[in-house]
A and B are shown apart, each in its own frame.
Chain A
Amino acid sequence: MTDARAINDLRTRFQTDLAQSSTSQELQTVRDRYLGRKGGVIATLMKEVASAPADERPALGRLANELKRDIDLAIRERRTATGVGGQATSTVDVSLPGRGAVTGSRHPLTALREQIETIFAKMGFTALEGPEVEDEYHNFEALNMPRDHPARDMQDTLYLAEPLEPSAAPGPHNQPRTLLRTHTSGMQIRYMEEHEPPIRIIAPGPVYRRDNLDVTHTPMFHQIEGLLVGEGVTMADLKGTLEAFLRELFDPDTKVLFRPSFFPYTEPSAEVFIGCLFCDGVGCNVCKKTGWLEILGSGMVHAAVFEAVGYDPERYTGWAFGLGIERVAMLKYRVDDIRLFYENDLRFLEQFPA
């Protein structure tokens, strides 16, 4: 039998026992004596409470549980103060490094690509990828660049010695794939061949040109192509969308300039510039004293391109743009040599936020 007084006595006894124990071993002995599952003081007490008269049981039960909790807490507190293995130190050196390494870094080109994908995703654009080895038709002809057209000089092409084996499901215009795509614009054709407007896509990925390695050129680089087609799509929409994109990518106050240009697959065509990030538009070596940095090419999809994919250019209008990721990365992160992106020097990569 037990009562409130007996429980109180147990508490006093525990406090004496606790006070007399100093090492962690002694502490463990006290813990076993009181909290041991079989034959521990508390375990015995609980059995007694269970057999107490029904009207006393709730009150006694509460007291017993309180005692159990207090004993447990007192021992834990004492143990922490005693330190690991009973040593005198009771603190850890929080300034020592944690175990394990920090996470690996993200390559700036993919980080930027994802950032751009995210901005366009918010505007309703879906990202898609296309083949890197292309045929003449999708890379040039359908984009209003027939064979022997001087516009082909703008993109020096790398050719395969032999075409790739034909893919399992050849499309209507698929030819032997004989070249490395010189731009991501071929994805415009591939997508429009398979889908009807409205269209809102971006197509990121590597592209290849026969350019010698130097501070601003690599034979492989990355582009993001954008395409929007529908009824009543205007060049003013192109301007508004690209301004919004560039202001989110760079700075809300970024100045944006559209200037006439020529691309065979767009008309009218526009080159897009942003106010120089290096001199604030005053004129410096980076912007060649113009105050502007060329950032992307764009324009209204050429009627010949629509005709190539079987769209009615009278009904549908659309625009497209293409942007070089390396160029943007160089400007945004102040990288002065494009080759750094391909050396994968960890001293370079680890600077970028994971």
Chain B
Amino acid sequence: MRIQLSWLDDFVTVPVPVKEFASSLDMRGFEVGAIEPRPESSTANDTVFDLEITANRPDCLSVTGIAREVAAMYSTELRMPTSEMAPAEELVGGLPELSVTLEDADLCPRYAAAVAEVTVTDSPDWLVQRIEAAGGRAINNIVDVTNYVLLELGQPMHAFDFNRLKGAELRIRRAKPGEQIRTLDGQTRRLADNMLVIADGKRPQAVAGVMGGADSEVNQATRIIVLESAYFQPVSVRRTSKRLALSTDASYRFERGSDVSAPVRALERCCTLLRQIGASKAIGPVIDCYPDPKKPTCVLLRHKRIEYLLGQTIDSAFVVDILTRLGFTVEETDPGTWNVEIPLRRVDVSREVDLIEEIARHHGYERLPSTFPILDSPPPPADPRIERDRLVSQVARANCFSEAVTFAFIEHPVALPFVSDPDELVTITNPLSEQFTVLRPSLLPGLVGSVAHNHRRERHDVKLFEVATRFTRGGETRAVALAWTGAGTPEHWSQPSRNVDFFDIKSSVEQILNTLGVVTPVYRPATSAYLVAGHAAEVVTGNTRLGILGQLAPTVCVMLGLDGPDEVFVAELNLDTVAQVSSDRSNFRCAALPRHPSVVRDLSIIVASTLPASVVRDTIRSAAPDTLFSICEFDRYTGKGIPENCVSLSLRLTFREPDRTLTDTEVQQAVEEIVSALAASHQARIR
């Protein structure tokens, strides 16, 4: 809302310099967006303030609305504009009669109109200047005066060309099926049957509260006009405005709630101005359709409640004075209790607390003391997910992954490989662009996209991770994703560099799962639309899949903007599932340390190279006595001396017993049993 200082000065005297005034407006909740000097104004040092009026204060979308606030701010006089209606005899200038029928009092509780004989011409300079300073465009004296009243009083007005109205009548009704209207902006608009229109005897001549029709537009040839000043139901105007994608100064005010007591006053003001500028001599009587006049409501205000809410005592005299200046009628019913009547324009005030806000606002937030709330109960338990996610982040960072944050929306095509059924994808109805059409079912597309971003900037060794939410039709899941490309070990003078491989990413996954208390994760080959076959695994416990890891398929790499020969290894774990299978740390107990030495035996066997190490382990476990404490694969060799399609696997077996030292004989016997079991099950030979 652009407010011109010289116009404001018609109604209230601002007793302070411009800058101080702007700051005071700010501190009352009217944010000053810009202060603009108006050198072309006839008033010296004139200024326009661009005020941000919050959605709850439609009553301040006018010069007088702001003037009332300013008068309260400085405890100074408010001079409201005057209207004198002409004596009745002047009204009958042979004017035709207008019939107004209010058919829908729900959507239009009040409709006022008046007929006037006019001379259409340009507006006087002062009027043009004020309209332009407010950001408007002067059109002709009639339209300009209606706009002037809107700016001054906040009441939207409209003028129809009387002679273009069929049947000399106005009907306030809902649009009929198939009806159309060409609005003032020249567009032909199809109307829906829940939209309120102002129609003549034949068809709509205005979309109520939004825009007038072009067919009854006031132009140079117009001799008689109908002035409209109404109150339209906010929700109806808003829906119509949204549906037509047409927002105007009028709809903006009506949808926020205009002043139901204002239409006649505004109509009178309009007539006064028309006479003042010589645009009209003969004006007909005001027709006011107001079947169910609204009464102001009252709210009880308790002095104690002000302190209870604000934490500060505010003087009773100040309370009464400020509310009165703002237009409330205050009456003390009991000591410390007031009955406050709320003017109809204050659509934002309906409760005691709304009045307290008015008091606090004008008393000044800067005068509010700073206190600290008393802690009177223990805090609730923390959200375990937050702690868990932090832990995951720590492990990933310790593994030299940097944290990424990516958008939750991705492109539809890149999401497809990450779901088994496209119907699982969550689609956005009104996306900003093709880039953001579905919610990510996996963190990997976004994360790998960030890897690609770094690649394009000549960064070839990239390790990124993200902890965030994924979406499918089934719901939200929290996940961690890792992406690793380039060097597997950082470059160092002491050793040759090598590229990342499966066991690098697996190590990071193992560390995360171990940190989160997953006791025995099992890794097994997996097939996936986005991973390279034979280089992909799923990690499970029991029948629960915790996640997936492996080499990203080249087709997916290319789709995500990563070309070139570099392999990308990725992993993604469902942290919600992981949390379900994690061991309960609250029951953790420390075990006694072994008091007897353990015995270590190394074993090298030759087996088929396709035999998984986990199967070898299982065979050893089932053949070995309980004294077998651990198995470690410390070498894996193929090549010279090893038959084709075979591998030499070296295992370190550690035996121990808590209460005694094992003898050589019994360990030897255990090893022999293991060897024969391996031979029987896998044709394993000792190397």
Contact = CB atoms under 8 A, between A and B. Distances in A.
Interface in A99-128: 99-107, 109-110, 114, 117, 123-128
Interface in A317-354: 317, 341-347, 349-350, 354
B469 A206 contact: yes
Contacts of A131: 476
Contacts, number: 252
B291 interface: no
Interface in A175-204: 180, 195, 198, 200-201
B55 A260 contact: no
A96 interface: yes
A342 B407 contact: yes
B368 A237 contact: no
17 contacts: A103-B398, A104-B397, A105-B402, A114-B390, A124-B379, A126-B383, A128-B383, A131-B476, A132-B408, A150-B234, A161-B428, A195-B380, A237-B311, A290-B26, A341-B405, A344-B402, A344-B464
A313 B57 CA distance: 24
Contact of A346 (B351, B386, B390, B459): B459
Closest 6 CB pairs between A and B? A234-B311, A236-B311, A260-B29, A262-B54, A344-B450, A240-B370
A267 B382 CA distance: 29
A339 B380 CA distance: 36
B302 to A, nearest CB: 10
B370 A261 contact: no
Given A126-B379, A234-B312, A257-B366, 12 more contacts: A106-B397, A150-B255, A165-B475, A232-B308, A235-B360, A237-B311, A259-B31, A290-B26, A300-B353, A317-B308, A343-B453, A347-B459
A61 interface: no
Given A103-B400, A114-B390, A129 B371 contact: no
A243 B357 CA distance: 21
Contact of B27 (A161, A240, A259): A259
Interface stretch (B36-44, B122-130, B430-438, B679-687): B430-438
B245 interface: no
A161 B423 CA distance: 11
A347 B429 contact: no
Contacts of B160: none
A212 interface: yes
A115 to B, nearest CB: 12
Give the interface size class of chain A: 35 or more
A267 B357 contact: yes
Given A114-B390, A160-B428, A236-B312, A126 B366 contact: no
B79 interface: no
Given A160-B426, A344-B406, A234 B383 contact: no
Contact of B368 (A211, A235, A267): A235
A104 B403 contact: yes
B494 interface: yes
A268 B375 contact: no
A237 B402 contact: no
B474 interface: yes
Nearest to B238: A148
A162 B472 CA distance: 11
Nearest to A200: B379
A244 B372 contact: yes
Interface of A: 96-97, 99-107, 109-110, 114, 117, 123-129, 131-133, 148, 150-151, 153-154, 158-162, 164-165, 167, 180, 195, 198, 200-201, 206, 208, 210-213, 218-220, 228, 230, 232-237, 239-241, 243-244, 257-262, 264, 267-270, 290, 300, 302-303, 313, 317, 341-347, 349-350, 354
B459 to A, nearest CB: 6
Given A100-B490, A132-B469, A237 B371 contact: yes
A218 B432 CA distance: 11
A107 B466 CA distance: 9
B239 interface: yes
A153 B429 contact: no
Interface string B372-411: 1101110111110110001001001111111111111100
Contacts of A243: 370
Contacts of B494: 99
Given A124-B379, A164-B475, A236 B55 contact: no
A150 B256 contact: yes
Interface in B85-104: none
Contacts of A346: 402, 454, 459, 462, 464
A110 B393 contact: yes
A228 B450 contact: no
A162 B354 CA distance: 38
Given A127-B386, A260-B29, A300 B309 contact: yes
A165 B27 contact: no
A250 B356 CA distance: 32
Contact of B386 (A129, A162, A343): A129
A267 B463 CA distance: 47
